[in-house]
Structure formats: structure tokens, C-alpha cells
Amino acid sequence: MSDFNRGVARPWATGQADMAVDAGLRAFMLGVYNKMALGLLLSAALAWATSHEPIVQYLFRVDATGRAVGMTGLGTALMFAPLAVVLLGSFAMRNVTVKNSGAYYWLVVSLLGAGLGLDALIYTSTSIAAAFLVTATAFGALSLVGYTTKRDLTGMGSFLLMGLIGMVVLSLLNALVLHLAGLQFMVQVILLGVFAGLIAFQTQQLKMTYYQIGGDAEGLAVATNFGALNLYLDFINIFQIILSLFGGRR
């Protein structure tokens, strides 16, 4: 899902596209950012709900002070559900429409948002607010770079996607076998850079998608859904990495 145009020929180069301010492009990008913002708002609401009674008792095991000390079976399933949905959707969604791509977006957002309740139980509210502010600031700057640059970021995007896969595999190997704290820290720092680069790359990709499909209203609506999902996932991953590296625990 992170490469919406994987099956589309790329006859353009970045310099060939009209980089002038375009009302249609502005409306398209605004639609992507609005949908992403609504997804973040829903995630925050669900995270708040799953970190409070009575829902919290079904998802997390907490001690007498209210700190999370583990997850129930349902909580574990919820934690891995977004990954399962993303992987399943990557292979199962062949006939993409506005409706099913929209439903897919909101399903992923809802599952991830509900799982973020664990962060609310582990980290202080001050740390969460600071991590969100840093992430939002970095996201805005990186997306602006992707929108305004005239350099073709396609090669960088392919490299980042390969790096993402490698780091995820290494992280799982470390969690299951190696258990090296230093390695996990290194992986998180590298992933922070990978997701930062992906924001710029995917923003430019959205811009080029607009030029490619032009006046196809349904195609633009589908691109809005997948574009919002890609940027949402980048945002959430950066937020969680910053929180895990610098957040103060309860």
C-alpha cells in the first residue's frame, strides 16, 4: 500500500511536471491532509477510551497503581491486528474502489488508535504531548520538502522501503532471539530516519499521482485514501519511536 503507483508506468520526471501552484492539486493535497488529521483525531479518541475503565481491563493487565504490566489475549490480538490488516490488504485488495479503500483506511486507523491506549498507560501525558508536538512539527517540515523539491525522490523511496523491511526483520530477530538493547536502540534510530524520508517521498508521490490521473475523480478519491493512510502510518511510527526513545514513563 505504501507504493500506490507501483503498477503505473512513470513516464514523467519530477522536472517535467508543472510545479506551479495549482488549485486542483491544492484541493487534492488538502483532502489527503484533512483525512489524515481526522484519522489522528479518531486515534486519539480511541486511545483515550482503551486506556480508561471499563475497556482497559479487557485489553491490558495493570497493577494497583494503574501502570500497564502486560496485555491480555484480546489486547495482544488488537496490537497485531493492524499489521495483519495491512498485509492482508496489500494482497487482497485487487479491485480497489473509493468505498473499499476508504473502509480500509478507517479500519487500520481504528485498530491502531485502539492499540495506542497502551502508550497512554505507559507514558506520562506530558511525554505524549511533547512527542506529538515534535512529530507534528517534523511531519510538516518533511512533507513541505517533498511537496516543493524538484528532485525526483523515486530512487530514495525504493531504498527507504527496502531499508524499512530490513529494519523490521532485524527488530523482530532481536526481540525474539538476540535481546540486545543496543541493537534495538540502533534499529529505532534508523527507523526514525527511514520514516522521515518516507514522508517526503510519499508527499512527492502524491503530487505526481495527481498529475498522472488528472481529472479522474474516482482515481483521485482512491489516491486520497491511500495517501492519507501512508502519511498516517509514517506519523504514528515516528510518534511511537520518539515516545519510546525519549518519553518519561509513569
What confidence tens digit (pLDDT) does each residue in 160-200 have?
999 999 998 998 898 888 889 899 999 999 999 999 999 99
**Burial code of 78-115, b = ≥16 C-beta within 10 A, e = fewer?**
bbebbeebbeebeeeeeebeeeebbebbeebbbbbbbb
SS3 call for 61: strand
pLDDT, tens only, 62-87: 777 666 667 787 777 777 777 777 77
**Per-residue model confidence (pLDDT) at position 8:** 37
Q: Which residue has the higher pLDDT, 133 or 85?
A: 133
Largest distance between two CA atoms of the chain: 62
What global pTM score does this model have? 0.85
Of 31-40, 84-93, 100-109, 118-127, which gets the smallest average pLDDT?
Answer: 84-93
CB atoms within 10 A of CB 207: 22
Domain parsing of the chain, residue ranges: 21-246
Q: How far apart are CA 45 and CA 48, in angstroms?
A: 5
Which conformational region is residue 22 in: left (phi greater than 0), alpha (psi within -120 to 50 degrees), or beta? Answer: beta
